[in-house]
């Protein structure tokens, strides 16, 4: 029997850690109990939600694996200093990485990296990845 890597979350306890986070489907929350990568698959225009991280040191990468229509992801915290919290993915392999940070009052996600069609590097309030909010 192989030893399985585990992660500990104070709220949920021990959980197997594969680094893969399942796409929950239209209108549902992407799980944030561990760091990992979530491949987004749509069958039409769909939405997802991303809860506030539960601790520091978390990182999540979201990428658009199957484009059946735009994926609009609403994050429960701002992800940049502009105050954006909505990510719109419109092209296959669009991707974004968020890291958990302590803002001084709460945990929040912050934009660490993006590779989204049309991204302009953050020069405007809508940085090309459909960030709004």
Please report the pLDDT score of residue 115 as a whole number.
Answer: 87
Please report the pLDDT score of residue 34 as a whole number.
Answer: 87
**Two tokens at 45?**
């225009």
> Bridge partners of 73?
48, 87
- Each residue's pLDDT, cut to its tens digit, for the chain (133 residues) gives 454 444 555 554 545 557 889 999 999 999 998 899 999 999 999 999 999 999 998 999 999 999 999 999 999 999 998 999 999 999 999 999 999 999 999 999 999 999 877 554 443 334 444 555 5
CATH of domain 19-115: 2.60.120
Cα torsion through 109, 115, 118, 122, rounded to 10:
40
Rounded Cα–Cα distance for residues 114 and 56 (Å)? 20
Please report the pLDDT score of residue 7 as a whole number.
Answer: 53
Please report the pLDDT score of residue 123 as a whole number.
Answer: 35
What is the number of other CB atoms lying within 10 angstroms of the CB of residue 40? 22
DSSP 105-116: SSEEEEEEEEE-
Domains of the chain by residue range: 19-115
Rounded Cα–Cα distance for residues 108 and 77 (Å)? 6
Do the beta carbons of residue 48 and residue 86 sit within 8 Å?
no
Please report the pLDDT score of residue 48 as a whole number.
Answer: 97
Give this prediction's pTM.
0.77
């Amino acid at each position: 029997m192989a030893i399985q890597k585990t992660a500990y979350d104070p709220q949920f306890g021990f959980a197997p850690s594969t680094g893969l986070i399942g796409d929950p489907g239209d209108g549902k929350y992407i799980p944030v109990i561990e760091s990992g990568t979530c491949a987004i698959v749509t069958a039409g225009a769909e939405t997802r939600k991303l809860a506030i991280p539960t601790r520091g040191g978390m990182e999540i990468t979201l990428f658009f694996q199957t484009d059946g229509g735009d994926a609009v992801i609403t994050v429960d915290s701002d992800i940049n200093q502009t105050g954006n919290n909505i990510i719109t993915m419109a092209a296959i392999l669009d991707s974004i990485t968020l890291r958990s940070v302590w803002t001084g009052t709460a945990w929040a996600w912050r934009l660490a990296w993006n590779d989204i069609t049309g991204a302009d590097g953050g020069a405007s309030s809508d940085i090309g990845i459909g960030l709004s909010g």
